[in-house]
Chain A
Amino acid sequence: MKLKIFFILLTAFQISANAYSQEPLLNLSLKNTSIENVLKEIQSQCDYEFFYAHEEIDSKRLVSVDLENATIDEVLQECLRGSNIDYQIVDKVIVLKPSAIPQIEDLQTQVPKIKITGKVTSEEDGLGMPGVTILIKGTTTGITSDIDGNYVLDVPNKNAVLVFSFIGFQAKEVIVGEQTVINVVLSTSISELDEVIVTAIGTTVKVDQSATTSSVVKADEMEKSGEAGVINALSGKASGVQIRRSNGDPGAGSAIQIRGANTIYGDSQPLIIIDGTPVSNDNIAYGAELSQQSRLDDINSSDIESVQVLKGASAAAIWGSRAANGVIVITTKNGKLEQKPSVQYSFTKSYDMISVKMPLQNSYGQGRGGKWSTSYGESWGDKISDRSGQADVVNNNGAYFVGGVTGTVYYPVITKNSTGAFTDSNYDQVFQTGGFNQHNISITGGGENTSYYFGFERLDQHGIIKNYTYERDNVRLNTQTHLYDWLKFNNKFSYSYIKSNRVQQAGDNTNGAVLGLYRNAPDFDITDYKGQYVDASGEVFDRQRSYRRHLGENINPTYNNPLWSIYEQKMPNKVDHFTLAPEFMVYPANWIKFIVRAGLDYYKDNRLEFFPVGSASGSNANGRMEQQDITSKEVNLDAIAIIDHKFNDDISFTATLGANFNDRYRTIDVTNISPFAVNSDLQSTALGGGSPEVSEWSKSINNIRSNRGYGVFAFSLFDQLFITTSGTLEAASTIKGNFFYPSADLAWQFTDLLNLDFVSFGKLRASWGKVGIQPAPYKFQTLAATGLSEFGGAYLFDSERGSEDLAPEIKTEWEIGTNLRFLKNKISLDLTYYQNRTTGILFAVKTNPSSGYTFNYKNAATMSNRGFEIDLSGLVVDAKDLKVSFFTNFNRNKNNVDDIAGAETVDTGGTSKIVKGYPVSSFYLPGTLRDDNGDMILDANGFPQLDPNNRVLGDPNPDWRGGLGFEVNYKNFDLSVLFEHSHGGEYINRTNIVLYGFGTHEDVSHEITLTEDLVNAKGNIIPAGSTVRGNIANFGAGNVLLDEAWYRESIGGGLGFSKANDLFMDDATWTKLRNVTIGYTFNKVKLSSKFAFKSLRVSITGRDLILWTKVRDVDPETNNYGVSVVSGMNYFNNPGTRSVLFNLQLNF
């Protein structure tokens, strides 16, 4: 509670032009001067402001004052003595008013005054509230409560009504009646009245005066999410913000998309601003094999005070060419002056489970055509239970394998008799209950001139895939120093250290654990995954053993045994990430303020991919080690001047002028060693054996520099009309020439005029703005590439044609909306409609090959989004012990690719394409051959045929998304629940297509007895009465038998894209119980006479506990493409997770 008051005060400090650590002492020596002049002199010596009505106050009255080191009170009392002017100091604002004149009725009744005393306390913590304004209703008479919340006030009669008000709290009115002691409990206002929002450059504006939309996510909401990373914690909490996960891997990055996709190349990620400084949210990934981290997740979410998402172009325009995907503004915590150190310790333990388990069959063995065979990768072999159950007949005269785990000796099997089936035990060897331990310590406080916040985090996470680890250590120190009354110095420092070991997922390779597990034959036990292969001549090799190589007889096992992927391949990474943001604030005069801010964001990510000898795939079988060292440095400088001017009571003006310099420099060094000269697991360059041919080094530098000058001009008219315009002029190294980004917005508080009873507040707003996206660097020329290292190296033409005439992508967006609050601010409703259109979208167009280039980097496409956002929240029950509130958000976005430089489609790789006239990343794949009515054209046997022409089969983008949450507080109990829903769109589960072909999916293990003659995909007729493995389907020409011929040999399953993909398209609609938290808080827990906690809170959280969806066998929130504009596809993705978390929080 105190913290909250502090932050409200803090923002109040920031709005007024100055900040004081103590009451100023004044020196005045004025003779026969007007009160007006005295006030001016007072103002020149401190930053207090005066408010009075000219018609009420005789400001020309002459007075004499001669005081040294006097407090304001002393000065005011002196100079107002004898006048009929009273004063009141409220929050550094001095209100002058005529001395209370008895009201007419008072004069008539002449009832003696009543002295009222009382105490104002906060409902939240029961503590006294200082600074609460207590006014007699209908008068200007009043007082503020003292440091303990106490007050004394004379009221004229018992009909008087006292109004208790405080920023951020609901005002309360009490009729005096017979009372002389009036104690009042104030509760926080849910309407965010007078709340400020942080702009893209780190200054604040009152939310009710802003015309731009931003969603605020508060720290406690993020805490309750149960997520280890910041990005996922934003899920479902803000309309128009879509968080798209990669999978449930610890530390895996997620994509953030605001109001739909705006760009094609890259990943449509918003700009991240922490405390006014841009920081990296890189997610540098090559392919989808390894889940890479998003750098924003490095920071400790406990350090965050608030997250604001600036959605519209107008709010972001000030960042010019980096803001087209929106801006996320994060404010970190800070201490306050004169505050005793407050220590908080929090411990969270999470238990993570797989969210959706892939159903795998356990009935049929490896082989084809109902016959057991180890030659084939599929499990279309014999029925395991039909075997004799005796020992396998083996050939023990030749090669064999000695299992390195159990010591079992394996011989080539001639006749398979064993009925052992291992689907479940294999599964349990790969997956486990994962989870994390998270410790957080924070200390906040402040002295006379300095305040501080210190935060430390330790997170230790284990994935649901064994041996997958993610550890994070975080330190943050934020300090604020008031050097002089006109100079403030802030410094923010953070350091993160990440250490992780990853496990490969599928992507385009066969080294993934999940791929190896799902394709594994049910009758193959994966336990002895490594050991020694002894060939027929007795020579011994250290080898991997997988179901494709029962004896490890080949150095390439085709697919990894999943245990090899988990325990032998090593994919560690280590990250050092620090940010430093010093800031000076200078107040030379009370109408102008300067901010000089520097920012440094530096990280180093050292990644290793180590494939020991015997790993799957041709290029890894002989051993491969790849070291990727990424260093990134972003330097940002901002100089901002803010000028306030008040023309008169009705018109005021704020101008913000700024200059920015930004330099981003990143190097990526990649060293590759393959093959290994020795079979060793030492991850060293020594594995190259000194041969220059086995080692490759490449270094790439990426440097982008830009500078901007910008201005924001805000007018406030009659306190109800607010007009803001901004302009940014930018030059960037990747563009020739300068670019200008304008914006304008307008807010009108119409309730001031209309005075409606049920509408407590109403604002209409409209805004328009332009933002851009810079081209990637080094695209001016066509380049010579190097390659063919396997042939000793050669110069090649880069497949991308360069272009000199690159311009930034320009996104133009307009929006209109309203913010309404009803029933004394208890219900609040925000509505926004927006449209944006991005022209000149930059990307390497996959051009027609006959042009001589594969890609053509140019301003090539136009794309648009339009949508609607609704945010509704309310306080439903507001009793002393019980509070119930809810919030809900809704967002509908429609994306369309309007044009792509003459092309019909552009390849984005994999299952999706950019197709003109369709939403971005639509599934563009072969499907079944259909006629003009969309009906399948079946072959002579009644089976679908493959359409040789690819077409749009679906679209992963949801039609609308929404979040619904509620919070209940009953005494010390609290409960919060959040549901998230994503509606519409499609999801393609390509894992299932492949597993059908491999015969390992449960769906293809059914045994049926035919009641009629049925034909299979090969045209064979299977007579009635036969018992076969398969399913019966009717594609429109009567029942047919789907058996091995369909699933493995035709278009009904298997590897490759040439399948009936449209039959595997699921409705992507899902609903998740995103989180549910129940907590109990103990206040003032005394452990001994010397040791006590201010409070202790215990809570339990369920994260993603329930999923409702039609998507089969996979969590629809996993995406094979990771952090990308492309989504909605499963291809042996590492699975998603759900969790139960226990949290203990101690406040000292």
Chain B
Amino acid sequence: MKTKYLKYILAITIIISTSSCQKMVDGINDNPNQLTVDAIDAGLFLKGAEIQNMLIQLGLLNRTASFYSGQLIGYEQVEQERYSYIFTDRTFDWEGYQSVLTPLHKIREQKENNSLYLGIAKVVEANLVGTYASLFGDIPYTEALTLIENPVFDNQLNIFAELQTLLSSAINDLESVTSSDLVIGDYIFNGNKTKWLQSAYTLKARYYMLTKQYAEAYTAAQSGISSVANNMMFVPYTGVSDPNSKNTIYERLQQGGVQIGVIPDATHPSYLLELLDLRANSKTNEQARKQYYTINNQNADGNTGIAAQFEPQAIITYQENLLILAEAGARTQSFATGLNHLNTLRNLLSSGALFNSSVASLTKKYDAYVAIDFEAGGIENANGNLTPTRALLREIVEERYLTGFLTYMPFDDTRRLRKEDSDLQVPFGLNTPTQTVNVERFLYPNDETESNTSAPTDPGAYAPTAVNL
């Protein structure tokens, strides 16, 4: 009857094993795969935030702004669709709130004693928020990234005022940087506070231009970026041969298809290239710039100019700063001030510093203009229907249109000038025969409008934003 005992032993074992408890499951849920955000130095997030910001600045928003200012052409499928004004509330997204602003806020929170981190974080934030506000109008800002579930959409003018304050604060931080304020992972300037400081000023100037505060713009730009060497550029990464870290136009073409370009064909003349031809005069020859701006959309690797694999792309630049000085100077200081700054830029163009070596042998003729060129009958006022100052401003705006290729400057200018300065406008045409009006803003992403009860009804793509009312 030994087995009889076995049967009770088994039964007892079973009863003991039936006593379940929570201890058995504790501690299993600590993530073995990823670090928590609090577990690492917040400075480690800087590189990612900087790169994500630049990719947003140079991505879909940028291409679309270029489509709607007569610069870039969408040739195929989705790119052609957007080019043809076919867009919906899911065309755009606001991923930058998460990928850029969230890590930047963490840096600002955790690095409150490091003025360099603070300054950099504020400049990058101002760059992103300013671009969003400019393109979309009223957006959530003051209540964004808080625990407020439905952040309000701030008035666009208030956002730009906030950004001026933020940039002033960044400037304060950057000016008070000491030698102990070290940063890691500054992909853009490698911790160079001067370059950050100058970028902050140029950014201030850019936003004053958007809000038509030309005097303030002129003042800010005087402390802005002082040389091409100090430009904030997106520099493609050479360490890995992945097209996603290369020039963003190249990357798009590398995806295959004819995608985007500028080369005119029968149906799609790009006004940008047309204009470069129209500008030839006794002081100007755009041969090199035209070649530099040409995009080979049949073969991504065939690009040697602005869409070459490793060609850096502008974020905030000396040339923009000069053109702000020129326009704001001509508007608020004097004709001579404006002309002077314009000629500085023309000199820079003729040096080839704004192009690359692929056009080294091509003509770059940008002789300095003089006052008479803008008087009635002058090179830049042949019809004589403008005052010299207006003629100069028109030339400056045109130069902003050309120099600003693949930045937001042309799209921003055309919206800014449409109401009161239509005589200065670059007269590019619309992209399709059935379209009658120009785009004034981008549609809100429906991820935001449908999850945020504070979201206003979208005013549509053809309603000017607050700064351009």
Contact = CB atoms under 8 A, between A and B. Distances in A.
A705 B93 contact: no
A1092 B448 CA distance: 75
B434 interface: yes
B370 to A, nearest CB: 46
Contacts of A594: 10-11, 14
A557 B99 CA distance: 32
B20 A849 contact: no
Interface bin, chain A: 35 or more
Interface in B217-245: 237, 239-245
B437 to A, nearest CB: 14
Nearest to A641: B14
25 contacts: A555-B301, A557-B256, A594-B11, A618-B254, A639-B14, A639-B17, A703-B32, A734-B29, A778-B31, A780-B29, A781-B36, A782-B36, A787-B48, A795-B48, A797-B99, A802-B36, A848-B150, A850-B94, A850-B145, A903-B450, A903-B451, A947-B88, A1019-B433, A1019-B434, A1058-B81
Contact of B102 (A553, A852, A906): A852
A1055 B81 CA distance: 9
B18 A709 contact: yes
Nearest to B29: A733
Contacts of A799: 98-99
A484 interface: yes
Do most interface residues of chain A lie in helix, strand or loop, or is the interface mixed?
A: loop
Interface stretch (A89-97, A235-243, A654-662): A654-662
A949 interface: yes
Contact of A796 (B91, B99, B445): B99
B34 A699 contact: no
Given A706-B25, A795-B40, A1018-B433, A904 B48 contact: no
Contacts of A26: none
B153 to A, nearest CB: 9
Interface stretch (B62-70, B72-80, B168-176): B72-80
Interface string A761-790: 000000000000000011011111101111
A617 B253 CA distance: 10
A398 to B, nearest CB: 14
A616 interface: yes
Interface stretch (A967-975, A1046-1054, A1129-1137): A1046-1054
Contacts of A639: 14, 17-18
A554 B48 contact: no
Given A790-B242, A849-B445, A784 B20 contact: no
Given A674-B242, A1054-B81, 15 more contacts: A487-B3, A556-B300, A584-B10, A617-B255, A707-B20, A777-B31, A790-B240, A792-B237, A792-B240, A847-B447, A851-B145, A852-B145, A1049-B80, A1049-B432, A1058-B87
A849 B94 contact: yes
A705 B433 contact: no
Interface in A676-731: 693-694, 699-701, 703-709, 729, 731
A1019 B102 CA distance: 47
B15, B29, B97, B187 interface centre (most CB from chain A within 10 Å): B29
Given A594-B14, A784-B36, A851-B151, A1018 B434 contact: yes
Contacts of A788: 47-48, 51-52, 245
A657 B18 contact: yes
Nearest to B38: A781
Nearest to B445: A849
A950 B10 contact: no
Interface in B173-215: 185, 187
A558 interface: yes
Given A731-B24, A781-B31, A1018-B434, A797 B88 contact: no
Interface string A795-807: 1111100100000
Interface in A598-627: 616-619, 621-622
B222 to A, nearest CB: 34
B469 interface: no
Nearest to A738: B22
Given A661-B20, A782-B36, A790-B244, A1058 B447 contact: no
Interface string B282-304: 00000000000000001111000
B49 to A, nearest CB: 8
Nearest to A855: B98
A35 interface: no
B84 interface: yes
A618 B256 contact: yes
Contacts of B39: 784
A848 B452 contact: yes
Contact of A586 (B7, B28, B33, B450): B7
B255 to A, nearest CB: 5
A792 B237 CA distance: 8
A939 interface: yes
Contact of A619 (B25, B37, B242, B432): B242
Given A658-B18, A783-B31, A849-B97, A693 B76 contact: no
A949 B89 contact: yes
Interface string B132-162: 0000000110011100011100000000000
A763 to B, nearest CB: 33
A619 B243 contact: yes
A510 B450 CA distance: 31
A618 B255 contact: yes
Interface in B317-374: none
Contacts of B240: 693-694, 789-792
Given A618-B251, A658-B18, A941-B434, A783 B241 contact: no
B189 to A, nearest CB: 16
B223 to A, nearest CB: 31
A948 interface: yes
A849 B7 contact: no
B101 interface: yes
Nearest to A556: B256
B257 A558 contact: yes
A797 B37 contact: yes
B111 interface: no
A552 interface: no
B260 interface: no
Contacts of A641: 14-15, 18
Contacts of B433: 1018-1019
A850 B299 contact: no
A852 B90 contact: no
Nearest to B255: A618
Given A733-B29, A1055-B78, A853 B24 contact: no
A1054 B86 CA distance: 12
B418 interface: no
A379 B3 CA distance: 83
A588 interface: yes
A926 interface: yes
A1017 B433 CA distance: 10
Nearest to B24: A707
Nearest to A998: B77
A347 interface: no
A946 B32 contact: no
B98 A854 contact: yes
Contacts of B45: 784, 794-797
B131 interface: no
B44 interface: yes
Nearest to B33: A700
B52 to A, nearest CB: 8
B450 A849 contact: no
A376 B258 contact: yes
Nearest to B139: A850
A902 interface: yes
Given A799-B98, A905-B446, A939-B434, A596 B88 contact: no
A181 B25 CA distance: 69
Contacts of B24: 661, 705, 707, 731
Interface in A537-568: 548, 553-559
Contacts of B385: none
